[in-house]
């Protein structure tokens, strides 16, 4: 083989998948041809350098987006009707619309009337039984102001019940670590939606921030805690969780939280973090920035 032909085949010596019958002949040629040998060495060095190039890592956004896509697709699979709705042929829309108007004009008034009758019946059954007992000497009919007050009380009771119900849902979802992160995340979001969370909800959110194995759940727990940053227990929870947090994204969010809550007690922890060579560079920089802001 000529040198030109040998050089064409050199890469095959560098890759087991390209082993050729001529390998022995090529090697023998290399032993006696310094030019080809030099070419082989530089090819080999190039490949080694290529393989040694540092493996870049994507930002956490990629994982979040892909898992969101999976969740969205799962949702679409579970709810084929709602997800198929936008894809329904446009031509069918007018027919649907005319059917809907028929429903609105004929069936709905009847249903409303039926509900009204049902409401009266239920009201008559419950009110007379209690009224004579609670108000024996008062006038038999209640005044409009009293009725309004009663309605307000009922509404407040109802609101409380709904609030405690969503707290309950939040607790159960948060505490079942064996459940999927998706459900735990929903637990956090449910707790976040509670207007006035009680101590237990706050504790659960801090617990999720400190202990949940999923960075995403921890991140959302932190977000849910933002409105309660004025509470000392919340700030202390975040501060305690910071040193053991591994995810740079959550660490930086925690630092932002501590800065936003103007927690001067965070200074030693931030100093330690900014000087920790093991910590992510961005985290160290965020800690340094935070120290200047506090």
Within residues 95-124, the interface with another protein by CB under 8 A covers none
**Which of residues 35, 37, 73, 198 is near another protein by CB under 8 A?**
73
55 binds another protein, rule: CB under 8 A:
yes
Residue 177 or 203 with smaller CB distance to another protein: 177
Note every long-range contact of 165-171, with CB atoms under 8 Å and residues 24 or more positions apart, other chains counting: 166/190, 166/191, 166/193, 166/194, 167/191, 167/194, 167/197, 167/198, 167/200, 167/201, 170/194, 170/201, 170/204, 171/200, 171/201, 171/204
Q: Which stretch binds another protein (CB under 8 A): 61-69, 88-96, 103-111, 126-134?
A: 61-69
Unique residue bearing structure tokens 């039984």: 129
51 binds another protein, rule: CB under 8 A:
yes
23 binds another protein, rule: CB under 8 A:
no
Distance of CA 287 to the CA centre of its chain: 24
Residue 187: Cβ-neighbour burial (10 angstroms; 0-12, 13-18, 19+) = buried
**Which of residues 27, 65, 93, 272 is near another protein by CB under 8 A?**
65
Unique residue bearing structure tokens 């409105």: 227
Q: Which stretch binds another protein (CB under 8 A): 53-61, 95-103, 193-201, 231-239?
A: 53-61
List of residues contacting another protein (CB under 8 A): 7-12, 15, 17-18, 42-43, 46-47, 49-59, 61-74, 77, 179-182, 184-185, 213-217, 219-220
């Amino acid at each position: 083989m000529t040198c030109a032909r040998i050089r064409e085949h050199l890469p095959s010596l560098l890759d087991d998948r390209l082993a050729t019958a001529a390998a022995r002949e090529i090697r023998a040629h290399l032993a006696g041809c310094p030019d080809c040998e030099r070419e082989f060495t530089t090819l080999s060095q190039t490949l080694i350098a290529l393989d040694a190039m540092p493996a870049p890592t994507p930002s956490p956004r990629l994982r979040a987006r892909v898992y969101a896509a999976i969740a969205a697709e799962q949702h679409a699979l579970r709810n084929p009707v709602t997800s198929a709705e936008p894809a329904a042929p446009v031509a069918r829309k007018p027919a649907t619309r005319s059917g809907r108007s028929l429903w609105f004009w004929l069936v709905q008034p009847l249903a409303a009337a039926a509900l009204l009758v049902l409401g009266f019946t239920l009201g008559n059954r419950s009110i007379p039984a209690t009224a004579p007992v609670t108000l024996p000497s008062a006038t038999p009919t209640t005044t409009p102001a009293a009725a309004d007050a009663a309605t307000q009380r009922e509404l407040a009771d109802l609101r409380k019940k709904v609030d405690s119900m969503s707290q309950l849902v939040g607790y159960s979802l948060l505490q079942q670590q064996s459940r999927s992160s998706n459900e735990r995340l929903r637990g956090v979001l449910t707790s976040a939606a509670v207007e006035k969370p009680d101590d237990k909800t706050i504790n659960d959110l801090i617990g999720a921030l400190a202990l949940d194995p999923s960075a995403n759940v921890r991140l959302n727990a932190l977000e849910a805690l933002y409105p309660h940053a004025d509470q000392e227990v919340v700030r202390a929870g975040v501060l305690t969780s910071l040193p053991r947090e591994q995810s740079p994204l959550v660490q930086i969010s925690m630092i932002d939280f501590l800065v936003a809550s103007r927690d001067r007690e965070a200074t030693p922890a931030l100093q330690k973090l900014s000087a920790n060579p093991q910590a992510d560079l961005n985290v160290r920089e965020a800690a340094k920035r935070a120290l200047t802001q506090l």
